A and B are shown apart, each in its own frame.
Chain A
Amino acid sequence: GNSVTQMEGPVTLSEEAFLTINCTYTATGYPSLFWYVQYPGEGLQLLLKATKADDKGSNKGFEATYRKETTSFHLEKGSVQVSDSAVYFCALRPISSGSARQLTFGSGTQLTVLP
């Protein structure tokens, strides 16, 4: 079946440090890939996405590249801020989800950025 494996947290960084959160997936064919962010006390928000191999999604200084050969979609940011403290979820939508457009989520990675 489909699955998403995320780097275990929590991750604690100092402000302006480089961030990488690893995400690998298992799916048939070419799924769409997503990163969602959940700020404290809120629901999930879409951070970025990629729909085909070698696509790079980017938003708010975050980037992730769809790597078919390594089945990965690692999240990176060059210089994190305190306001980036949140839980980050990697997710996929398989081609076979059809009209339901269901997502499969990873377990989430808690990021804390210290001033």
Chain B
Amino acid sequence: NAGVTQTPKFRVLKTGQSMTLLCAQDMNHEYMYWYRQDPGMGLRLIHYSVGEGTTAKGEVPDGYNVSRLKKQNFLLGLESAAPSQTSVYFCASSYIGEQFFGPGTRLTVL
């Protein structure tokens, strides 16, 4: 099992550009999450999904959109990137307890 994988690992964008981050899990988990990690602030929840076709806002959803068209995939989109979105993004999935995390995507917005 690969667990939780994220694509890409690194990305540099210019202000105003768009991109999509892909998260995939092969554990048949219902719940999936997108977090951002910033220095001194821990992890903050952006959006989450409790099942295929469902999404909901987390703590810091502004500037991001998500989709969960397939159970195994959870996409995070930035329509118009801003420097404030420079961060490390983590995806996670869970079933009844423990959350399993991907390796992260380091995004820099210039």
Contacts and interface: CB of A to CB of B under 8 A. Distances in A.
Interface of A: 4, 6, 36, 41-46, 49, 89, 99-103, 105-108
21 contacts: A6-B42, A36-B101, A41-B103, A42-B103, A43-B102, A43-B104, A44-B90, A44-B92, A45-B101, A46-B98, A46-B99, A89-B43, A100-B48, A100-B50, A101-B31, A101-B99, A102-B33, A102-B48, A103-B43, A108-B40, A108-B42
B104 to A, nearest CB: 6
Nearest to A42: B103
Nearest to B58: A102
A106 B40 CA distance: 9
Nearest to A99: B50
Contacts of B102: 43
Contacts of A43: 4, 90, 92, 101-104
**Chain B interface mostly:** strand
Contacts of B58: 102
A100 B45 CA distance: 12
A44 B31 contact: no
A106 B104 CA distance: 18
A41 B6 CA distance: 13
Pick the 10 closest A-B CB pairs, nearest first: A43-B101, A105-B42, A44-B101, A107-B42, A105-B43, A46-B98, A43-B103, A43-B102, A99-B50, A108-B42
Interface string B24-66: 0000000101000000111111001010000010100000000
Nearest to B50: A99
Contacts of A105: 42-44
Contacts of B33: 102
Contacts of B56: 100
